Every structure is written in C-alpha cells, then in structure tokens.
Amino acid sequence: MPDRIITEIWWSPSQGFDVRAATTFSDSAKIRLDPEDHKIKLKIQESNNRYPLDTDLTVRSKTYNPEAVTQLLMVQLNSTIPVDEDSDALATVEMRIYNGTNEMWWTGAAWAIASAGEWNTEAEINANISTFDITSREFAIVLNLITLDSKVTPEVESVYILWSGEIEWSQDIILNSLTQTVQEEATYPEDIALPPLAADSSTIDLDDYVDESDLNITDIEAVYEHNGDPLHRTNLFSSYNSTTHVITLTSPILANGVPYIRQIIRANVAWDTHQDFDEIGKLPQVILSNTRTINSSPYSFAHSSDIMRRDTGAAVKTPAPYRMTYQVTMEVRTDRTRSQQRLLDSLISFLTYGPSTEEGPFLKSRATDRRYRLWLQDEFTALQSETKLSNVRIFQGQFRIQDVALNLKAAEDVYAIQKLNLGFATIKSDEEQKAIINEEPIPKTTEEVIEIED
C-alpha cells in the first residue's frame, strides 16, 4: 500500500527559511502575513481604517515538489472566520490548487485553469482532489480571503495536504537525496592554459585539447588571452555549448595568443564504491561511505500528524515517525593540490551553508520535500595514500544529517469526533453583563470541538 504523507503549509519561520520569500501575494498592500502571529490576513487600509472588500485578494504558498507523490488525497484549511451575533459568517476563505504552472479549480465537472472569480470551497476541493493531475509532482495552495464586513478579516494559520506515494525511506535520504545533492554541489574552478593558437579565432573547441569524459566540465567561467593580458583582467568569454564543447568569445584571440580558460569541473560522486572506481582517470572523486546511526527513536513532530475532512468527518492519523541522525564519512580524492583545495572549499561551504538551492544548511529529501539539518562534524584531514594510489591526494571528513523522519508505520483511517462543550464562557456581550448585574443566570454558550478518534 502506498505511503500517505501530510505536508503542512504554515507561515511561521522555521529552520531559517524566509517564509515571505516563498509566498506570493496578489496585492501586498491589501493582503499580508502578520509578523506577530504568523497568520495570513487582509490588511487595514490607511484611507478609511477598514479592511478591503475586494473579491480576489490571494496568497499562494510555497510550491512543494515531493518526487514520490502520485496522488493528492485531502486538504484541511485551518482558519478563523468572524461571525455576527447570529453566528452567520462575515467572511470566507476560498481555494485553488497550483500545479507548478497554473492555478486550477474544480468547475463542477473537471479541473481547469482558473480565471478571476473562479474558486472552490474546502469541501469542493476535498470531494474532487483525488482526480487532480499531479504529473508535474508539484503543488501549492492558493487562498482567496474575502470579508463581507470591512471591520473584520478572516485569518489563515495553516493548510494541511495529504498525499500518497511509494517511498523507500532510508534509500531516499542516503542513496538518492544525499548522493544527488553532493553530485550537484561538488564543483570547483579549474584553470588550464592551451597551446598558442595557429590562427585568429573567435571560438575554441575543447575537444581539440581535453577529454570531456575525464574532467566532467559543466561550464566555462572565463577565458583570457594570457600573452596580452597576463593579469587576466579582460574576460573574453561569451557562451559555452555543453553538447559540442565549443566556447564562443566576445572578440577573437589572435594567432600565437594563449587562451587561458577557467572551467567549472564536477567531481565524480559515488556511494560505497568497489575497487573499479579507484582509477586515476576518474579523478576528482567524492566517495560517501560508513553510514552510522547516532540517535534514533520514535517520537512526534511539534506539528499535527492528523488531517480531516470537515464535511464528512473522515480523517487520517499518521503515527509518529522513526527519527534518525546519520553520520556519514566523505572521502575526497584529487591528483592536484590546487584541485584538492578548491574542491574542499566547495564541499565545506556546502556542508556549512547548505546547497545553492536552499536557504540554509539543509538537505532536501527528494521523495518528500522535507528538509533536514546538515552538520559538519570533523574537518577534512589528510590521509596517507595507499600504494596503488600514490599520486592521489586523499582527504576525509565526517558530517551528520540531523533528525531524519522515517514514516515506517502505515497511516490509519479514522473518524473525527464532534463534541459540544456546554459551559460558562467569558463575558462576550451586553446580555451577559446585564445577567451578572441582575444576578440572573448567565446565558450558556456552545463551542464546537473536533477531535481525531484514536
């Protein structure tokens, strides 16, 4: 049975992420994220000291990209809606689903690209979300906040999304997410001076000078004419075709000129390799190995592990995940001192400040789009070369992936319980105040509480 995972969308700062940078507002002058309670609200207008009555004031959450997702199953909107003295709603929150390209809504017959005024209720979304096309593996929630009374605003604290997919938990974080991320980040600049040109040329074909398969050249950063510009102040680089390996210059290098090229090299990355990987021709290498579990235990996250449909009472409870901290050994092998130092600098930066795609030192799970803290434990230290690798410089370091959540126990289908809590409430009206003064019974109030049944 596929795993069922809850993705929680909330707007509280978490793990160093800038939630505002990942949130899109249709009009930041009329809708905002409150910096104090971290809720989405309409914004009071200075012109009349009231909330705007517009009908398309929207906010789109961060776009999530869990590669394992195969189907969206349920949405739960956690919001506060003001009501009048007759308990009639004075505001509403409507929804759409963003697929990475377009905002989609349920027309009553199918999912379609939404135009102005085309929105769904939470119940409409839940009744049809299982047919939403998730081929893109991307989703975000779009909210439309509407008030019918300019003195009040709806508030949205969070949104939960339940989705399903096949996940190999440990393999995802170690073999897929970590190895692929290191492969993307293990890059460094390498300088090379080519022989003098036989004729004037505005292009350089690298296949005439180097073997692409050995060096894994991913890009070109700069090209200089070394004879006429020995301090390398004028960059002649225009473009690089990674398929043909041809560099185009902004102006030609004349005959007998010496092209001096700064290439971006990507190291070969592997996990616990066999003997055949230890070949000089495949340098530089980054080898990940010796995974050890430092801490492990089942315990809950600080946030909800339950989700429910308010219209039907159907709910899903996800048991506490097994949480692990991994320690990993990283071995770096190069054949040149300069390459060694530049590659080490790149890897230390990655482990300290995080991948270039993240806002901090976090490893993103490819399968679930969750983030886990990276900790560099031991700085890279030199190791004695083995006899068969006597020309290879080898450095080794250790780092940790902190508090990884493994949902090893299947989610359960349960039902929400609706309770009426009858009792005395705080004084909220003139009628209650008069009852106290006249020593009459205080009017009772009802409070609706929805719980998830174990």
- Residues 309 and 302: their CA atoms lie apart, in Å, by 22
Do both 325 and 176 map to the same domain?
A: yes
Backbone angles phi, psi at 440, to 5 degrees: -105, 165
For residue 14, the model assigns a pLDDT of: 65
Q: With 60 as the cut, is the pLDDT of residue 447 above it?
A: no
Do both 297 and 369 map to the same domain?
A: yes
Do both 256 and 384 map to the same domain?
A: no
* Average pLDDT for 56-61: 94
* Lowest-confidence segment of 63-77, 327-341, 408-422 by average pLDDT: 408-422
For residue 123, the model assigns a pLDDT of: 96
Whether a cis peptide bond, with omega within 30° of 0, leads into 284 is yes
Do both 130 and 211 map to the same domain?
A: no
Q: Residue 424 — pLDDT band, cuts 50, 70, 90?
A: very low
Instruction: Determine the structural domain holding residue 199 and report its residue range.
Output: 187-266
| CATH code (residue 66) | 2.60.120
- Percent of the chain scoring above 70 in pLDDT: 84
For residue 448, the model assigns a pLDDT of: 47
**Mean confidence (pLDDT) of the chain:** 86
Nearest Cα to Cα of residue 286 among 366, 159, 395: 395
* Average pLDDT for 397-413: 91
Q: With 60 as the cut, is the pLDDT of residue 394 above it?
A: yes
Backbone angles phi, psi at 215, to 5 degrees: -95, -15
**DSSP at 409:** S
- Residues 345 and 270: their CA atoms lie apart, in Å, by 19
Please answer whether residues 329 and 398 qualify as being in contact, where contact means their C-beta atoms are separated by less than 8 angstroms: yes
Do both 262 and 278 map to the same domain?
A: no
Do both 30 and 138 map to the same domain?
A: yes
- Residues 50 and 153: their CA atoms lie apart, in Å, by 10
What radius of gyration do the chain's Cα atoms show? 29
Provide the residue type at 380 as one letter. F
- Using DSSP's 3-state secondary structure scheme, residue 431 falls into helix
Q: How does 322-355 read in b/e, with b if 16+ C-beta sit within 10 Å?
A: bbbbbbbbbbbbbeeeebbebbbebbeebbeebb
* Average pLDDT for 204-214: 78
Evaluated on CA atoms 66, 6, 310, 39, the torsion sign reads negative
**DSSP at 389:** G
Q: 117, 132, 165: which is the final residue of a domain?
A: 165
Do both 401 and 366 map to the same domain?
A: yes
For residue 131, the model assigns a pLDDT of: 97
| CATH code (residue 307) | 3.30.2000
Q: 132, 165, 198: which is the final residue of a domain?
A: 165
Do both 24 and 153 map to the same domain?
A: yes
Chain-centre distance of CA 369, in angstroms? Answer: 5
Per residue in 1-39, pLDDT (tens digit) is 789 999 999 888 765 566 677 899 999 999 999 988 899
Total domains present in the chain? 4
- Distances in Å between the alpha carbon of 296 and those of 10, 141, 327, 402, 405? 27, 33, 12, 10, 10
* Average pLDDT for 338-359: 91
- Using DSSP's 3-state secondary structure scheme, residue 44 falls into coil
Q: 100, 134, 165: which is the final residue of a domain?
A: 165
Reported in sequence order, the residue ranges of 114-225 that DSSP labels E, i.e. its strands, are: 140-147, 155-165, 187-193, 201-205, 217-225
Do both 103 and 133 map to the same domain?
A: yes
Please answer whether residues 261 and 222 qualify as being in contact, where contact means their C-beta atoms are separated by less than 8 angstroms: yes
Do both 17 and 53 map to the same domain?
A: yes
302: buried, middle or exposed (CB in 10 Å: 19+, 13-18, 0-12)?
A: exposed
Higher pLDDT, 420 or 222: 222
For residue 154, the model assigns a pLDDT of: 95
For residue 105, the model assigns a pLDDT of: 98
Do both 173 and 272 map to the same domain?
A: yes
Please answer whether residues 5 and 139 qualify as being in contact, where contact means their C-beta atoms are separated by less than 8 angstroms: no
- Using DSSP's 3-state secondary structure scheme, residue 422 falls into strand
Per residue in 212-254, pLDDT (tens digit) is 556 688 899 999 999 999 999 999 999 999 889 999 999 999 9
